[in-house]
Amino acid sequence: MKKWLVSSVSVLALLTLAACGGEDEEAARTPAETTTEQASEPAPAETESEVEREVGEAGDAIGDAARETGEAARAATEEAGETLRDMAGTANEAAQGAGETASRLRNDAEEAAGQAAEGARQLADDAASALEDAANGLSGAADGAGAAETAENALAAAGLAGPLAGTRWAWADADGAFVAFRASEISGNSGCNSFTGTFEAGEEGALEIGPLASTRMACAEAVMAAEAEFLEALQSASAYAIDGDTLTLSDADGNAVLVLDRAAAE
């Protein structure tokens, strides 16, 4: 298009210069020169036809360039529109995916919070139950202690527990061995295992110890031997004698089978 415009402008400029220059030169020409040039100049009709043709060609070139520019603009506009539509679609898909992810994360967070709250409630319930059980246990222990004390007093009054009731005695020959008397119950540790049973004691020193139940832990051989001796002596005792802080248990023949030292009662 630029080429045709330059050509058209050049032609018009040349024509204008020729027209202007011709007027100046015509005044200086001699009659002979004027006559000669007039004879050689082309016919006015031919000059006008050539100018019209060149102007027409320039107009056609301008029209072609305008059409090409319009087509290029339309193509660029369509391409830009398609690109924008693609970008909008991609952005919409991304936004939809982000929304789904956010919704899933929110649901997961709500579920986790619900589980945590349920766990906390369960822990609180368990703690409350444990406290209630502990309180009941303490109450029962207090009631049991009171009942034991009452029974002990009753047995003492009946002469079945005697001076042994509420006392605790240690055996020096085995580390940790002891025997405790409470109401009608005898209990203790034989150096390795714990034991429990029942007993009756009279004011005159008579003693009867029932069968003893013991745990079954295994210890060193020497400890187990001392334990067997201790338990056998207890089971064979049929009399007792208290002399200050010493308790002597004897068998039916009057032989001392155990000598124990007073220990602080628990």
For residue 132, tell me if it sits in a domain. no
For residue 226, tell me if it sits in a domain. yes
Which among 53, 70, 48 is positioned nearest to 4, based on CA atoms?
Answer: 53
CA atoms within 13 A on the CB side of 230: 28
Asked whether residue 81 falls in the same domain as residue 170, the answer is no
Does residue 8 sit in helix, strand or coil?
A: helix
CATH number at residue 195: 2.40.128.270
Asked whether residue 169 falls in the same domain as residue 115, the answer is no
Asked whether residue 224 falls in the same domain as residue 115, the answer is no
For residue 129, tell me if it sits in a domain. no
Where is the domain boundary, 66, 97, 122?
Answer: 122
Split into its structural domains, the chain has a count of 2
For residue 34, tell me if it sits in a domain. yes
Query: How many beta carbons lie within 10 A of that of residue 188, not counting itself?
Result: 25
Q: 65-90 burial string, b = 16+ CB within 10 Å, else e?
A: eeeeeeeeeeeeeeeeeeeeeeeeee
Tens digit of pLDDT at every position of the chain (266 positions): 544 444 554 545 555 555 545 455 545 555 555 555 554 555 556 687 888 888 888 888 888 888 898 888 888 888 888 888 888 788 778 778 877 887 888 888 788 767 866 865 776 567 556 646 754 654 454 455 454 455 444 444 444 557 899 999 999 999 999 999 998 999 999 999 999 999 999 878 999 999 999 999 999 999 999 999 999 999 999 999 999 999 999 999 999 999 999 998 76
Query: How many beta carbons lie within 10 A of that of residue 148, not counting itself?
Result: 16
Which helix or strand (DSSP H or E) is residue 206 part of? none
Separation between Cα atoms, residue 92 and residue 89, nearest integer Å? 5
Query: How many beta carbons lie within 10 A of that of residue 12, not counting itself?
Result: 14
Separation between Cα atoms, residue 80 and residue 87, nearest integer Å? 10
Asked whether residue 256 falls in the same domain as residue 193, the answer is yes
pTM tops 0.85: no
* Per-residue pLDDT, 132: 63
For residue 180, tell me if it sits in a domain. yes
* Per-residue pLDDT, 134: 53
Asked whether residue 193 falls in the same domain as residue 248, the answer is yes
Asked whether residue 118 falls in the same domain as residue 170, the answer is no
The boundaries of the domain holding residue 163 are: 159-263
* Per-residue pLDDT, 90: 85
* Per-residue pLDDT, 183: 86
Where is the domain boundary, 94, 122, 150?
Answer: 122
